[in-house]
Amino acid sequence: MNSAHLEEFRLLLTEEKKRLLKKAAHTIKNEIELSKDDMADEADMASALTDQNLSLRLRGRERSLIDKIDLAIGRIEQGEFGACAACGDDIDVDRLRARPVTTMCIACKEEQERRERLYSD
């Protein structure tokens, strides 16, 4: 992979990480604390708790994505970005643009998913 592509992906990953961290900060600042005084009844409180739970669950998934972003940036720095972890072949640039945290080429990922379906039954 050429240096222009690597810089493109480093920027893409860094911007996505900033966006996710900004959302997390917003959640902590504005969505964590619920005031019982603001809730008219138990149904309002239950609805607010459900919304809060969903928001926190989403931030948890985003935390996992941030970890994957950090690993991808590390692969860029180590010169391993864009190589399939399973077969060693280059991962298509279009696939990386669609999912820059991926570690597998399409063929290996499809095979992994096929095996997971086969053994999950």
pLDDT in tens, 23-75: 888 877 776 666 666 667 778 778 777 877 888 888 889 999 999 999 999 99
Ramachandran quadrant class, 119 (left: phi over 0; alpha: psi -120 to 50; beta: rest) = alpha
User: What is the DSSP secondary-structure string of the chain?
Assistant: --HHHHHHHHHHHHHHHHHHHHHHHHHHHHTS---GGG-SSHHHHHHHHHHHHHHHHHHHHHHHHHHHHHHHHHHHHHT-TTB-TTT-PBPPHHHHHH-TT--S-HHHHHHHHHHHHHHH-
Per mean pLDDT, which range of 58-62, 67-71, 107-111, 114-118 is the poorest?
A: 58-62
Give the confidence band of 83 by pLDDT, cuts at 50, 70, 90: very high
pTM: predicted TM-score of the whole model, two decimal places: 0.80
Say yes or no: 93 and 74 in one domain: no
Say yes or no: 71 and 114 in one domain: no
Say yes or no: 115 and 94 in one domain: yes
Say yes or no: 17 and 74 in one domain: yes
The CATH number given to whatever domain includes residue 54 is: 1.20.120.910
Say yes or no: 77 and 103 in one domain: no
Range of the domain at 110: 82-121
